[in-house]
Structures are given as C-alpha cells and as structure tokens.
Amino acid sequence: MNTETIVIRSESDLHQLKRAGDILRSSGLVAFPTETVYGLGGNALDKAASKKIYAAKGRPSDNPLIVHIATPEEAEKYCVTNELYYELAASFMPGPLTVILPKKYVDGIPVVPDETTGGLDSVAIRCPADPVAHKLIVSAGVPIAAPSANTSGSPSPTSAEHVIHDLMGKIDMIIDGGESVFGLESTVVRISENTIYLLRPGAVTAEQLSVFADELIIADEHLKEGERPLSPGMKYKHYAPAKPLYLVSGDEDQILNFLLEKQDTEKCAIICYDEDAQVLSPDNLFLLGKKNDLLSHAHRLFDFLRKTDITDASVIYARLPDKEGIGLALYNRLIRASGHNIINLK
C-alpha cells in the first residue's frame, strides 16, 4: 500500500487535514500526533476500520481501542456518563486522560461496535489537547479509534520517524506533527460513582486524581496472577526493545559502581540521568535529563528504547524510577519493557 506522508508545522499547513478526514470517513487509517504518543486512527464507528487497525499493528483483537473525541460532551453519544466524568473532564480535558464508561445502546445495538471495544461493554474516551489531533477529529466528523501507532509490543512512537519505521506501507497516511510533547501514553481510569481505578498511569497522576474520589485503586498493584485484568492491554508484553533490558535500583553509589563495572566488562547501553555523565563513560550513554526533570524523562524514554536497540550494545541498563507523580508512569512502562527484570543492589 502507498502511504502518504504530510507534514504539519504551522497553521498554514492545517488545510491538509481535510484529505486526512476524507480518508478516515472512507474506512482508511491515518497515523497522527497527539500530546501523549502518535495514534493510529480509524473511524471508531466503522467495524472495517477497526479491524484494519488491529491488522496493521498486529494487535490482539481483545485489546480495546481508545475513542478520541473533540469535546468532552461528545461522550454522551457513545457512553453513559456520570457526574465524576464531568468533574474529571473539567480539570483534565482536553488532555492526557482516558476515562472508561459503560457503552450506550440504541435499539439494543451498541453505538460503538464490539470490533472497536474488543467485545467489552465499555468504551474508553479521550479528548486530546494536541491541536493537530483536535482538528483531525473535527475534520473527520467521526470519533477516531486510535491505539498507539506502533507495531504491537514495540515502544510507542513519539515521532513521525518512529511511525514510518513501524507502519510505512501498511496504512493510508502518516501526519508528521513533530515530537509528542509528553511522550508516554494517556492515564487510563475506570470510574464508578465515587471510586477511581487507575488502570494505566500517565501524565495525569494518581496524586492529582485522588482528590476527585473517596477511593483511588491502582489496578496494577492489585493484579494477582490468574486474575482477569480490568484493562485487557495490561496482560500483554509492551514497549519492549529487542535487546535484554535490566532496571537497576539501590543507593546512588551502588548504582554508579555497578554501571561503571558493566561499562568495563560488557558492551552495554545505559539509560540514566544527565548527572551520571560526570561519572560514567560517554559510550552508549542515553541521558534522560536532570534527575528531577521527570517530564524530560517521559519525553525521551520511548525514543531511547528504540535507539538503544540500534547500538552495538548487547544489553541495556536503565535506572528504576521512583513511583511518585509521573514517576509511576515511567516505572510502569519500564518494568513492562524489561519484562520485570529488576536488579536490586541493596
């Protein structure tokens, strides 16, 4: 298939979204930038488009897609909303928050087809803040189902270059809108009247969400072996580089000594903080930003997971993040990317 690529850098480029909207209305697939990661979009109400999304990504068909809308109120057409949804929407939409709500039925038929929701009775709703994503939804005139625009299992794409690498020739169009500002996928929550279940941590943090409900349950920590995951995506291997990745935890001295020794004895790539460059040798060092600059870490992490793969290193080491604030999202992505390979030096 011929994949058209368009570049949008300013207002004057936006007219090109008309054609992207046409493609989406005729069951085609368009990869587009958002503030979290790039999405692979298709008409959420069109079974054929959803099936194509799963095929292009190689995504298991029981892993549901997030439905992207232009304004929070549009959720009324597809889901049963509640007060808590609108409270969250007032604070975090448009933005990197996905809310799971019960499906809406008209004459016994779900408005959003099972093909989009992996057969579930609920719909995941997000209202992206990225201006290109917003204008694309408006131009399409339909809600856009979009998972991350990568091959299933590989690190999510945070630039058009990543999407081109994974999906060129498999979809109709790629919109290059520059690098994703945040760089990790949206926070996903399921809500009942006064409980928030955090299914996937992201830029909207557990701390920020907790003030909106009597109880906030972090699903990952409550997931026992053999239990049915609340979010089907949680059971799949994710974000994985092709090379083995180990996460290192311990005191500062222990970590640095460990990494120095590895640099001496192994061909390794290391994902760490700017400050570490004063101690470690520059060879295959990937600096996430200053130690406390978690936004910079989020912005660079997936790009680094891809880049470490194309070095001559045979193994990758990264620091295990703390679980506070956005750190929880970084922690969640890295433990999955590493297949829970943690080296605890304490």
Q: Interface residues with ligand AMP (CB under 6 A)?
A: 63-66, 100, 117, 120, 122-124, 147-148, 185, 188, 199-200, 231-234
Pairing verdict, β 315-319 and 245-249: parallel
**Residue carrying structure tokens 């298709």:** 42
Q: Which does 200 bind (CB under 5 to 8 A by kind): ligand AMP, Mg ion, none?
A: ligand AMP
Q: Phi, psi at residue 12, to the nearest 5°?
A: -70, -15
Strand partners, 103: 79
Q: Which does 174 bind (CB under 5 to 8 A by kind): ligand AMP, Mg ion, none?
A: none
Shortest separation between residue 180's beta carbon and Mg ion, angstroms: 13
Q: Which does 120 bind (CB under 5 to 8 A by kind): ligand AMP, Mg ion, none?
A: ligand AMP
- Looking at beta carbons only, is 216 or 315 nearer to ligand AMP? 216
Piece of 11-19, 140-148, 202-210, 223-231 that binds Mg ion (CB under 5 A): 140-148
Separation between Cα atoms, residue 306 and residue 151, nearest integer Å: 12
**Residue carrying structure tokens 């460059």:** 277
CA 251 to chain CA centroid, Å, is 30
Residue nearest to Mg ion (CB): 148
Determine if residue 151 is left, alpha or beta; phi over 0 gives left, psi from -120 to 50 gives alpha, anything else beta: beta
Separation between Cα atoms, residue 20 and residue 174, nearest integer Å: 9
- Looking at beta carbons only, is 124 or 256 nearer to ligand AMP? 124
Separation between Cα atoms, residue 73 and residue 234, nearest integer Å: 28
List binders of Mg ion among 217-276 (CB under 5 A).
none
Residue 148 interacting with Mg ion (CB under 5 A): yes
Three-class SS of residue 180?
coil
Residue nearest to ligand AMP (CB): 233
Shortest separation between residue 233's beta carbon and ligand AMP, angstroms: 2
- Looking at beta carbons only, is 64 or 321 nearer to Mg ion? 64
Separation between Cα atoms, residue 174 and residue 230, nearest integer Å: 32
- Looking at beta carbons only, is 64 or 241 nearer to ligand AMP? 64
Q: Which does 63 bind (CB under 5 to 8 A by kind): Mg ion, ligand AMP, none?
A: ligand AMP
Separation between Cα atoms, residue 95 and residue 128, nearest integer Å: 5
Shortest separation between residue 59's beta carbon and ligand AMP, angstroms: 8
- Distances 337 to 33, 125, 162, 239, 320 between C-alpha atoms, Å: 22, 25, 17, 5, 12
Tokens for 170? 């498999």
Shortest separation between residue 156's beta carbon and Mg ion, angstroms: 5
- Distances 301 to 72, 92, 169, 270, 297 between C-alpha atoms, Å: 29, 23, 26, 12, 6
- Looking at beta carbons only, is 121 or 283 nearer to ligand AMP? 121
Q: Which does 188 bind (CB under 5 to 8 A by kind): ligand AMP, Mg ion, none?
A: ligand AMP
- Looking at beta carbons only, is 200 or 300 nearer to ligand AMP? 200
DSSP letter assigned to residue 11? G
- Looking at beta carbons only, is 152 or 254 nearer to ligand AMP? 152
- Looking at beta carbons only, is 232 or 325 nearer to ligand AMP? 232
Shortest separation between residue 289's beta carbon and ligand AMP, angstroms: 23
Residue 239's closest CA among 148, 127, 172? 148
Residue 322-341 contact track with Mg ion, rule CB under 5 A, x = bound: --------------------
Q: Phi, psi at residue 46, to the nearest 5°?
A: -115, 110
Binding site for Mg ion (CB under 5 A): 148
